[in-house]
Amino acid sequence: MPVAVNDYNHVRLTVRDIEVSRAFYDSVFDFDVAFELPPNPDEATKDALAFLFGGVIYSFGGGLLGLRPVAPGGDHFDEDRTGLDHVSFSVADVAALEHAVTVLDDLGIAHEGIKDLGEAGTAILEFRDPDNIALELSAPTG
């Protein structure tokens, strides 16, 4: 009998520089922060939030997205290695993808054009975060 999974819970991405990554994710998505170490925490708070590894966990409609700053400085993401290929976030419609193009352009973030996947009934917009992690926005076309 297979495991009965009923929803997505979270993804945590390993990043090199939490300040750079937070600035990117905050400016692009403006997710709510679910967990982060407060300024000047006492030891009990540090212990309770040790699972953050100095990073942050965001909350949004799809679940949780964490950033864990433990990657070596010279490392970079490669979707052709074992592990993550990309992270795709859902948006309401193609108009939301068009708005995202404007947001990314205003922020100076390189991206592909909106691609209609035809029979799949989906359009996507692809771009990358500061660690080269492949990100995608996906919208229904029908």
**CA atoms of 64 and 32, how far apart (whole Å):** 10
Looking at domain 85-142, which of 3.40.50.300, 3.30.70.120, 3.40.50.2300, 3.10.180.10 is its CATH number? 3.10.180.10
- Give per-residue pLDDT as tens, 77-122: 888 988 899 999 999 999 999 999 999 999 999 999 999 999 899 9
Contact 91, 100 (CB under 8 A): yes
Report the predicted TM-score, pTM, of the whole model to 2 decimal places.
0.90
CATH number of 1-73: 3.10.180.10
User: What pLDDT is attached to residue 73?
Assistant: 84
Q: C-alpha angle 9/80/98, rounded to 5°? A: 65
Please report how many Cα atoms fall inside a 13 Å half-sphere around the Cα of residue 28, on the Cβ side. Answer: 24
